[in-house]
A = this chain, B = another copy of it.
Amino acid sequence: MKDNIDEMVTTLALTVFRANGALIAAGDSLTAPFGLSSARWQVMGAVELAGQPLTVAQIARNMGLARQSVQRLIDELERDGIVALDENPHHKRARLVRLTLHGQEAYAAIMKEWHAMAARLAEEMNAAGLRAAIGSLEQLSAGLDALRPPD
């Protein structure tokens, strides 16, 4: 194990890259049977968990992604009948995204499998370690954002 704390930050960064790749790969395996992917599943989650229809721009802000990245995913999900776009009474241009019934069913099925997988993963992990990991990653993200040159 590294002794310098700043070298540990570097190790943490590399570990994050690995974990990110592993999570996306696992998510793709989980969602592929439904014709979906990790990215589409995440967008669906943002819509479903909000509890109300959202605009594309709101979804992007919630997820920390660029507006246009989400826009394309939503366009594709609409073509596939996973989400529908309702007229927004408060904004003629920004329609509201909601899951279709088909989308809700697929999302529920995927979440059921994900929770089973998460429970199996949790077997080998302890709550204190997880809490520490989440805290450290939040610090890392916040610190990186703060240190970056403002736009």
A12 / chain B contacts, CB cutoff of 8 Å: 130, 133-134, 137
Are B5 and A127 in touch, CB under 8 angstroms? yes
Chain B residue at minimal CB-CB distance from A142: B22
A118 / chain B contacts, CB cutoff of 8 Å: 6-7, 9-10
Residue-wise, chain A 1-43 has the 8 Å CB interface mask toward B (1 for contact) of 1000111111111011111111101100100000000000010
A143 / chain B contacts, CB cutoff of 8 Å: 120-121, 124-125
Are B20 and A144 in touch, CB under 8 angstroms? no
Cβ of A136 within 8 Å of any chain B Cβ, yes or no, is: yes
Cβ of A52 within 8 Å of any chain B Cβ, yes or no, is: no
Contact of A131 among B1, B6, B135 (CB under 8 A): B1
